[in-house]
Chain A
Amino acid sequence: MVNCIEVRDLFFSYEDGTQALKGINLDIEKSTRVAILGPNGAGKSTLLLHFNALNLPQAGNVYVEDLEVTKKTEKLVRTKVGMVFQDPDDQIFSMTVREDVSFGPLNMGLSPEEVQARVDSALKAVRIEDLAEKAPYHLSYGQKKRVAIAGVLSMSPDIIILDEPFAYLDPRGKCSLLEILDDLSQKGKTVVIATHDVDLAAEWANRIVVIQNGKVLAEGDKSILIDPIVIEQADLEFPTVTKIFLEFPSHERERFPMTIKEAITRIKRMSNYYR
């Protein structure tokens, strides 16, 4: 497998002396769905900003598609990596949705026709074609979030990074965001999200990186979400589904379910067993 992001011994401190990252090592494979999981203040946002060259490594290195992230490469890196910020109001500033979504492509120096085409397809990807001429500040939070995502998709990055994308979304909003993210992975994009929501990580990701206190605590497939040591050290909790099954002694020496689907399969099997 090819890595599209590599992080080596990354350190980062803020101006007030807060050490946010204390030696991060990390590989992200192409076309994976990665959840960077950790409690508040773990350093997730600080790390994500490095992938987009908004933070530059103070010590250590970050590589994006074999390109080292430095002052010189920052513009190029930003065309490869799209970053969706947590608060859409930070990101959306134009007077109409269409104009905002074309901000990135215009900065890339594309022709007006190309910009137009990209904006249309980005709006379609997040299903807000009908909002194109609206003023962003009159939209609902969920709609703004989609505008923010479209604003990044229009730059056609291979890697898309979202900081706490599900925060404040209602159930419907979460659902449709999950669908949008699924579409993106299906197109072969690498999608990285930062979250503290273990349930969402369990349902959505196929690669998990657990961060605590500026360090990578564990990295692997979803099975690390039911590793009691990892969960406790990271100040997280088990996925809700897993918590239910922890109450039942496992008959088979098989791992606990984490997602609703796995739970259903398991319950069916258990009821056969008891019958």
Chain B
Amino acid sequence: MNNFFEQLSNKQTIIHELDTRVKIISVVGFILISSSLQSFLGLAVGAAFLMIVLKLVGTPISPILRRLAWILVFGGALIALFPFITPGKEILAWQLGTLKISATQEGVDKAILLFLRLLSAVLAVTLLNATTGFREVINGFRKLHMPNILVSIIEFTVRYFFVLGDELTRMKLARKARGYDLNQSIINRKALMTITQLIAVLFIRSMERAERVYCAMLARGYGGVGSNGEHRPVKRSERVQMADILWGIGFVCFTLSIKLLEAGGIIG
């Protein structure tokens, strides 16, 4: 993982020291339950709860928010469409010639709801990241008997993300050195061609690298996809403790109680 999370995950709080499996399951549980919430208030309370926990484990909130902004840009683009594609009571309308574009109240509500769900999910994963080293998370997946091939894919993706990033930087630099301006508008046909080629070459290079990586793994006795890690017995001290489970249950119960309040019609 990047430096930021790696440093955070080296801190020591109760949550840092919880069993990784419990953390993974409770975060997944939290996300599942909170994304089934229907009310703005319930979702907002859930998100606020996560923020508080993040703060308690010593995470500086502002860099997290900055990171969040990036992720939300992608989700946000989709969400912004909702008001215009959901049928319902019109609250805004433009007439563009024969084309009529209108936003509906139902659409806006749906968009806000989606946004809050995305926010909760991202915050929950952030909490896992900030309190658990990436290696730990990977081991946790393994111990939870997640199929090895999936775990390996996650591990390699993260690892090679950096290698590919380096490669891309080098390629961009080399183009710049030959007088190519990276910041020019991509409407320009030539620029578009260059970018397309850059991506194509990056793709081919990654394929070739993947092959070399696989060779290097075989050279060190790797028995093929899926056999990695089978020699890692779970030590007794790695057994889940009751305390871990209680913490996990407490965490999930928080969203569960919001869910119950909502179902009982008390909030929402």
Binding site for B on A (CB under 8 A): 49, 52, 54, 75, 78-79, 82-83, 85, 87, 89-91, 93-96, 99, 103-104, 106-110, 112, 135, 137-138, 151-152, 155
Please list the 4 inter-chain residue pairs (A to B) with the smallest Cβ-Cβ separation, ordered nearest first: A107-B221, A104-B220, A91-B216, A90-B212
| Interface mask (B212-240 → A, CB under 8 Å = 1, otherwise 0) | 11011111111100011101110100000
Known: A85-B212, A91-B216, A95-B135. A107 touches B222 (CB 8 A): yes
Known: A93-B159, A137-B162, A137-B163. A104 touches B221 (CB 8 A): yes
**Are B221 and A78 neighbours in the complex by a CB distance under 8 Å?**
yes
In the bound complex, how far is the Cα of B209 from the Cα of A110, in angstroms? 29
Partner of A78, one of B138, B212, B213, B218: B218
**Are B159 and A94 neighbours in the complex by a CB distance under 8 Å?**
yes
When distances are taken between beta carbons in the complex, the residues of chain B under 8 Å from A96 are 135
DSSP class of B's interface residues: helix, strand, loop or mixed?
helix
| B interface size (C-beta, 8 A) | 33
B4 lies within 8 A of chain A by Cβ: no
From A83, A135, A138, name the one whose CB has the most chain B CB atoms within 10 angstroms. Answer: A135
When distances are taken between beta carbons in the complex, the residues of chain A under 8 Å from B235 are 112
B203 lies within 8 A of chain A by Cβ: no
With A112-B233, A138-B3 known, 17 other A-B pairs at CB within 8 A are A54-B215, A54-B218, A82-B220, A85-B215, A89-B209, A90-B215, A90-B216, A93-B159, A95-B134, A95-B135, A99-B135, A104-B221, A106-B232, A107-B221, A107-B227, A152-B220, A155-B221
Give the shortest distance, in Å, between A12 (CB) and chain B (any CB): 15
When distances are taken between beta carbons in the complex, the residues of chain B under 8 Å from A90 are 209, 212-213, 215-216
Known: A87-B212, A96-B135, A137-B162. A79 touches B219 (CB 8 A): no
**Are A78 and B215 neighbours in the complex by a CB distance under 8 Å?**
no
Give the shortest distance, in Å, between A61 (CB) and chain B (any CB): 20
14 cross-chain CB contacts under 8 A: A54-B215, A79-B221, A82-B220, A85-B212, A90-B212, A90-B216, A94-B135, A95-B158, A104-B221, A107-B227, A108-B221, A137-B159, A137-B162, A151-B220
Give the shortest distance, in Å, between A117 (CB) and chain B (any CB): 15
Give the shortest distance, in Å, between B237 (CB) and chain A (any CB): 12
**Are A54 and B219 neighbours in the complex by a CB distance under 8 Å?**
yes
In the bound complex, how far is the Cα of B138 from the Cα of A94, in angstroms? 11
When distances are taken between beta carbons in the complex, the residues of chain A under 8 Å from B209 are 89-90
**Are B213 and A106 neighbours in the complex by a CB distance under 8 Å?**
no
Partner of B221, one of A75, A85, A95, A138: A75
**Are B220 and A155 neighbours in the complex by a CB distance under 8 Å?**
yes
| Interface mask (B41-79 → A, CB under 8 Å = 1, otherwise 0) | 000000000000000000000000000000000000000
Which A residue sits closest to B233, measured CB to CB?
A: A112
**Are A89 and B163 neighbours in the complex by a CB distance under 8 Å?**
yes
B244 lies within 8 A of chain A by Cβ: no
**Are B223 and A83 neighbours in the complex by a CB distance under 8 Å?**
no
B6 lies within 8 A of chain A by Cβ: yes
In the bound complex, how far is the Cα of B216 from the Cα of A83, in angstroms? 8
Which A residue sits closest to B211, measured CB to CB?
A: A90
From B133, B160, B215, name the one whose CB has the most chain A CB atoms within 10 angstroms. Answer: B215
Which B residue sits closest to A151, measured CB to CB?
A: B220
Give the shortest distance, in Å, between A89 (CB) and chain B (any CB): 5
In the bound complex, how far is the Cα of B213 from the Cα of A103, in angstroms? 13
When distances are taken between beta carbons in the complex, the residues of chain A under 8 Å from B162 are 137
When distances are taken between beta carbons in the complex, the residues of chain A under 8 Å from B160 are 93
In the bound complex, how far is the Cα of B222 from the Cα of A99, in angstroms? 14
In the bound complex, how far is the Cα of B235 from the Cα of A96, in angstroms? 21
Give the shortest distance, in Å, between A68 (CB) and chain B (any CB): 18
When distances are taken between beta carbons in the complex, the residues of chain A under 8 Å from B180 are none
In the bound complex, how far is the Cα of B215 from the Cα of A109, in angstroms? 19
